[in-house]
Amino acid sequence: MFDFMQLASSPQSQEMMFRMMSRQMGQAPPEVRDAVARVEVVIKKGERGFELRMSHSDNAKVEEMTKQSVESWVDLLSRGFQAVGYKVKIYE
């Protein structure tokens, strides 16, 4: 049986994903890369969870990218937990 959790936690798989993300951002215009660099991301880790906060950007394109990224990660996390049987609640 294919173990998706092992794949997601594999350093090689993670590195490949991060390299792809970096390459994609490298193709963005300089003003977008500079605006992204000014966005602060805070991750508060707890014993059994975490909280993610991102500051706002003065660049409309980066604001849209941030919103889409948050939506994508929430969807990925919720579907991943649901796929293995957890009951998931998302609060707005």
pTM for the whole thing?
Answer: 0.77
Q: How far apart are CA 15 and CA 22, in angstroms?
A: 10
CA 17-57-74 angle, to 5 degrees, is 45
> Closest Cα to residue 54, out of 39, 67, 68, 69?
39
Quick one: average pLDDT of 60-80?
A: 94
3, pLDDT greater than 90: no
Give residue-wise pLDDT tens across range 35-51: 999 999 999 999 999 99
Neighbours of 35 (CB within 10 A): 19
Q: 4 falls in which pLDDT band (50, 70, 90)? A: low
